[in-house]
Structure 1
């Protein structure tokens, strides 16, 4: 029976996302969520999330591209990619940002993250991944790190899946192996966030599921107060994950929902 973990990204980005995540945790639809600790909402929302720390994996959604306020250290994604691949990133500033985001997490939740990943997958970019792995070794990190090394490629999104793999997934996996950091075995959830039939996508991902398939998702209950280019897709995902069809689809595909951190990874 394949084990599938649904992880909601972007916790604390806005209240509509957080409300969706809390509801889906209560329904048993989510087994993990990944947190943006630079958000002004973080402290209050994290105190509500803390009660679920024993039942789901709560991770750090490392951010270097989303701007919360004038103090946020970030780059536009294209610029960050260019600087990463040309090795023009300031290592000291990257290390400082990782430390600050980590400290915000630990200060409020009173524990290390169960896992670490990256907003827009920046945790696997050159320079950033090496600094992150060294930082986690210093922290004696015992959790897992998101891997895109083995993505489930579903038509018509094969190119996007392969592109995201090429943006450093294999190298990050080698670094994790050398440092004895665990990772998920499979990864899914990649599509173009257009108005599509999300339940069909999930059913296709289920059909390819093996042990420890991590499916990223981005649910929200409604239109946010701040700009969000994918809010329509977020609502679509939320509607499916709150439906009875979701659980029927899991049963029909012999899927067991479970935490990545709940197993010997």
Structure 2
């Protein structure tokens, strides 16, 4: 049996996403989820997540690109990338945002996050990753960080997978080892969010699974009322992950769904 962890991004972004994640945790499908603590729904959604503190990894989904009603500091993804690679980001703003999101997590969950990842993978960008890792060392962080260094490639999305990995995964891996912070070794879940045959994508990932593979997903029970660029993909993901087909696929490829086994 190969140990695989499915991790759902974007908990608390909206009610449809949070409800799907809670249900899939209850069904034993998900063993990790990362939270958007700046959402106006965070406090009420977190109450429903707290009973699973000892069953799944609950992390902080570091956000600098999605605006919530609180008026949080945000950039467009393009703008953030340009400023990160040109080293023109204001470090004080980044530190302030990380601290705010961290404190919102700790104040509600009563503990540090089990792991850190980033909305649109921004945690691996230059400047941001250095600030984040210094912050985590100051907090005596004992969890893990999501890394895209060793992804499972889907043939149709090889370029996208390579580009996302190239946005800082190698540098992040080196920095994590230097700071003795754990990280996942293998990663999957990258596609264009337009492919409606989500089952086939997962069958490829599962058939190529390595021990302690982390698979990113984005389920939602129904299409949210507000605009979401990947809203239809979210529903397709949810429908597959709760299906008998998913469980048959796990049996077929001898998958043991479990929490991530992170390494340094």
TM-score bucket (shorter structure) = over 0.9
Give, in angstroms, the shift of residue 196 of structure 1: 2.4
Q: Which residue of 1 aligns with 2:133?
A: 133
Partner residue of 1:217? 217
Runs of 4+ that moved beyond 6 A: none
TM-score normalized by the length of structure 2 = 0.98
Distance in 2 between the 1:237 and 1:253 partners?
19
Q: CA deviation at 1:223?
A: 1.4
Tell me the TM-score normalized by structure 1.
0.98
Shift of 1:195: 3.6
Q: Deviations over 1:16-67 (max 9, x none)?
A: 0011011101111101000000000000101110110100000000000000
Map of 2:10 onto structure 1? 10
What do the CA deviations read for 1:243-263 (whole angstroms, capped 9, x no partner)? Answer: 0111111011011111015x6
Residue number in structure 2 paired with 1:102: 102
Partners in 1 of 2:47 and 2:56 — Cα distance?
Answer: 15
Unpaired runs of at least 5, structure 1: none
Listed as ranges, the matches of 1:27-176 within 5 Å are 27-69=27-69, 71-176=71-176
Contact between 1:2 and 1:255, CA under 8 Å: does it hold in 2? yes
Superposed CA offset, 1:72-122 (max 9, x none): 101000000000000000001100100000000000000000000000000
Residues 195, 232 of structure 1: 8 Å contact kept: no
Aligned residue number for residue 239 of structure 1: 239
Number of aligned pairs? 264
CA RMSD of aligned residues (A): 1.0
Shift of residue 264 of structure 1?
Answer: 6.4
Q: Is the CA contact (8 Å cut-off) linking 1:151 and 1:186 kept in structure 2?
A: yes
- TM-aligned CA deviation for residue 70 of structure 1: 5.4
